[in-house]
Structures are given as C-alpha cells and as structure tokens.
Amino acid sequence: TEAAGAPLLSPRELEAIRHAAQGLSAPATAAAMHRSLETVRHHRKAAMAKLGARTITQAVARALSLGLL
C-alpha cells in the first residue's frame, strides 16, 4: 500500500524504481521487465518527476522514505 500523501506511481514506474533500488542498470532493468531500454528510461523519468528527484538515486531514496518500497 502507498503511504498517505505519497505520489501515485504507475505499476511500471514502481517496478523500474524497485529494480534501481536493487542496483540494476537501465539496460538490466529493461531485460528484467521485458521492455525496451527507451520504455524503461521513460518509466524512470516519469517516476523521478513524480518523486521530485533529479537522479535515479534520489528517486529511490525518496520512494524509500515515503514507504513506496
């Protein structure tokens, strides 16, 4: 469940952030998700924007602090 006041991430955005939290690169995430690299980059960027993050590391940290991961 999502924390109160946390941004609503799509299931794919959340999956991309979870893979990043596990240390997977964008290409490795694309392989794990069975999606193109461009699609994964899109999901990451959308999640980063929703989380107010400038980097994927910031997005992971913010998602963790909000209880999304």
**Structure-block tokens of residue 43:** 């999901």
Pure H helices in 4-36: 11-21, 26-33
Give mean pLDDT in consecutive 10-residue pieces for the chain, a chain of 69 residues: 71 97 98 98 98 97 95
So what's the pLDDT on residue 1? 42
Q: Which of 47, 43, 48 is nearest to 33 (CA)?
A: 43
Residues counted in the chain:
69
So what's the pLDDT on residue 23? 97
